[in-house]
Structure 1
Amino acid sequence: MILHYITREAIQHMRTLRSYRLFCILLAVIAAVGLICGSFWDLTISQALYHRNQPLCMILEAICFFPIYFPIALLTALLSVRGKHHGLRILGRLLTGIVFTAIIAVGLSYLHKRGIWADASLLIQCLLCLFAGFLMESALYALLKRRSPSACRKLFWLGMLGCCYLLWELACVQGLKALAGRPRYETLLQGAGSFSPWYVFSHQGGSSFPSGHTAASCGILLSLLLPAFFPSLRKHRPLIQIGSACYIAISGFSRIVIGKHFLSDVCFAVLLMLLGLILLLQGYERLQRRFSQLP
Structure 2
Amino acid sequence: MTKTRKILYVGVFVLIAALLVLGVFFDKTIADKMYQPENVMAIILEIVGIFPPFIFVSSMFVVLFYFVKGEDKNRALKKALCAAGAALVYVGFGFTAVEQVFDGFLWRIVVGLGAAVVLTPLTFLIFRKKSQDTLKRLAIFLIFASIVAVISSLISINVLKYLWGRPRYREMIADGDFALTAFTPWYKINGFSLHGHHSFPSGHTCSATNLLVLCALGEVFSDEERKSTMYAVFCGVYIFAMAYSRMVLGAHFLSDVTGGFFIGFLTYAVARYVYFDKSRIVIEAIMQANRPKEDDLTTEEPITEEAPRVEVDVTPVQTEDEILFTKRVVDAQEEEKPPFEEK
TM-score per shorter chain, which class?
A: 0.7 to 0.9
The answer to whether the 8 A contact 1:23-1:241 is kept is: no
Residues 1:98 and 1:22: Cα distance change in structure 2 (over 3 Å): same
Residues 1:270 and 1:51: Cα distance change in structure 2 (over 3 Å): same
Give the Cα separation in 1 of the matches to 2:98 and 2:283.
43
Give CA-to-partner distance per residue, 1:207-251, whole Å, 9 cap, x none.
Answer: 111112211222111111112211122232222111111111111
Counterpart of 2:212 in structure 1 is 221
Would you say how many aligned residue pairs link Structure 1 and Structure 2? 272
Which stretch shifts more, 87-96 or 208-217?
Answer: 87-96
Counterpart of 1:72 in structure 2 is 57
Counterpart of 1:36 in structure 2 is 21
Counterpart of 1:108 in structure 2 is 98
Question: Which residue, 128, 134, 147 being the options, matches 1:151?
Answer: 134
Structure 1 SS opposite 2:260: helix
Give the Cα separation in 1 of the matches to 2:112 and 2:283.
41
Specify which structure has the higher proportion of strand. Answer: 2
Asked which structure has the greater RCO (Cα within 8 Å, sep 6+), the reply is 1
Q: TM-score w.r.t. structure 1 length?
A: 0.80
RMSD of aligned C-alpha atoms?
Answer: 2.9
Q: Which one-letter code corresponds to 1:178 in the other structure?
A: Y
> What is the correspondence of 1:73-88 to structure 2 with a 5 Å cutoff?
73-84=58-69, 85-86=75-76, 88=78
How much does 1:185 deviate? 0.7
The structure with the largest alpha-carbon Rg is 2
Counterpart of 1:185 in structure 2 is 169
Q: Percent identity?
A: 22
Counterpart of 1:243 in structure 2 is 234
Structure 2 SS opposite 1:200: coil
Give the Cα separation in 2 of the matches to 1:290 and 1:102.
27
Q: Answer yes or no: is 1:195 the counterpart of 2:198.
A: no
How much does 1:91 deviate? 4.5
Q: TM-score w.r.t. structure 2 length?
A: 0.70
Specify which structure has the higher proportion of helix. Answer: 1
Counterpart of 1:172 in structure 2 is 156
Give the Cα separation in 2 of the matches to 1:182 and 1:83.
45
Residues 1:257 and 1:18: Cα distance change in structure 2 (over 3 Å): same
Structure 1 SS opposite 2:279: helix
Give the Cα separation in 1 of the matches to 2:282 and 2:28.
49
Give the Cα separation in 1 of the matches to 2:192 and 2:266.
27
Give the Cα separation in 2 of the matches to 1:158 and 1:233.
12
How much does 1:254 deviate? 1.0
Q: Answer yes or no: is 1:261 the counterpart of 2:249.
A: no
